């Protein structure tokens, strides 16, 4: 059985670290990335944490559910709009380890399953 008290504390910690990571990202980095994303070709058919913008993942109910399963509270964070044009892997670089490579890889596995449907 899961320790709900511990799970809630962990969810709050991930959400707080995510918010802090967005605030720690220099505005120039966010602006540069936004300009790069706008200049790139349309996204490929496959979804991934490396290529799909975070806003696109959160804007789809199925992919948002995947993110919420792995990173509870992140998609509801009021500061998420600041990172909507960035990929989740890019955001993870500013998370201070709160978003691990293992978590990103697990999200990619679930996104691939969804894309295969």
What is residue 78's predicted lDDT score, i.e. its pLDDT?
Answer: 85
pLDDT band at 34, cuts 50/70/90? Answer: very low
Place of tokens 């789809």: 60
Q: What is the C-alpha to C-alpha distance for residues 7 and 109, in angstroms, rounded to an integer?
A: 23
- Domain region containing 89: 4-116
- pLDDT tens digits along 67-83: 999 999 988 888 888 89
Mean per-residue pLDDT, 5-18? 55
Greatest CA separation for the chain? 48
Instruction: Count up the domains in the chain and report the number.
Output: 1
pLDDT at 45: 59
């Amino acid at each position: 059985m899961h320790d709900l008290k511990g799970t809630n504390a962990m969810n709050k910690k991930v959400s707080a670290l995510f918010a802090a990571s967005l605030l720690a990202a220099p505005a120039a980095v966010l602006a540069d990335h936004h300009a790069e994303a706008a200049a790139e070709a349309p996204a490929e058919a496959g979804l991934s944490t490396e290529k799909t913008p975070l806003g696109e993942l959160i804007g789809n109910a199925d992919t948002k559910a995947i993110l919420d399963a792995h990173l509870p509270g992140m998609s509801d964070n009021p500061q998420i709009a600041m990172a909507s044009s960035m990929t989740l892997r890019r955001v993870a670089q500013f998370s201070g380890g709160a978003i691990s490579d293992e978590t990103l890889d697990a999200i990619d596995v679930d996104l691939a399953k969804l894309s295969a449907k």
